[in-house]
Amino acid sequence: MNLNHQNLRHLSQASVILALTIIFGFFPGIPIAIIPVTIVLQNLGMMLSGEILGPWWGAGTMLTFLTLVALGLPLLSGGNGGLQMILSPAGCYLIMWVVAAFVMGWLLRVTFLRKYWWSELITVWICGALLVDLLGGLLLSWWMHFSLTITLGAMMIYLPGDTIKVCLSVLITRRMRKSKLID
């Protein structure tokens, strides 16, 4: 790999986002009685990853994070790690982090959606909250043999917190872009 200035910059930014995602794991998850998945702060790292790094670097950063988790490092909220976490009900949502970071990064890089704060907010909300919660919930429903209605209803519990994280992600990213820290 040729480490030119642009690659080095992306690698540095990816390392910072990966570190932030790990740090967000130090905050304990909030358990939900209905389904075996907690509300965590770590998906803010996924949102920042797709928004700041773009499709390939964003998805690669989340894939690196999940690889470290699968290797047994206790990086998930509550100090959890190991392949069993990827293969657990929470893994349905974790796998969607890679997809969401890619789709979000692609939409924001290829289209005009990054130009206006409201279009960026909607894009990050659809990809970072709705896509992860909806597709993660569908995977969970299929895997755990839960009723689709109950799973989609339980998914609604995540949306208010995810909406707050989306607002934080867009605010942080737009400030960084305005300060010329990112492209």
Its domain, for residue 123, covers: 5-178
Instruction: Find the helix or strand (DSSP H, E) in which 33 lies.
Output: none
Q: What is the CATH number of the domain that holds 72?
A: 1.10.1760.20
Distance CA 166, CA 158 (A): 12
Supply 37's token pair.
């998945």
Q: Give this prediction's pTM.
A: 0.89
**Is the model's pLDDT at 73 over the cut of 90?**
yes
Question: Going by C-beta distance under 8 Å and a sequence separation of 6 or more, which residues neighbour residue 73?
Answer: 81
78 assigned to some structural domain: yes
Number of structural domains, the chain? 1
pLDDT at position 2 over 80: no
The stretch 41-59 carries a mean pLDDT of 95
Q: Is the per-residue pLDDT at 153 higher than 70?
A: yes
Q: Is residue 27 part of a domain?
A: yes
Residue 183 lies in a domain: no
Percentage of the chain with pLDDT > 90? Answer: 54
- Separation CA 86–CA 92 (nearest Å): 8
Query: How many angstroms separate the CA atoms of 52 and 49, rounded?
Result: 6
Closest CA to 166 of 134, 133, 136, 123: 123
Residue 123 lies in a domain: yes
Residue 105 pLDDT more than 90? yes
Q: How many CB atoms lie within 10 A of CB 50?
A: 34
The highest-confidence range among 8-12, 89-93, 100-104, 144-148, by mean pLDDT, is 100-104
Q: Is residue 165 part of a domain?
A: yes
Give the mean pLDDT of the chain.
89
| % of the chain with per-residue pLDDT over 70 | 96
Q: Is 80 helix (H, G, I), strand (E, B) or coil?
A: strand
Which tokens hold the place of 178? 């305005």
Is residue 71 classed exposed, middle or buried when 0-12, 13-18 and 19+ CB atoms within 10 A define those classes?
exposed
At 35 the pLDDT is: 67
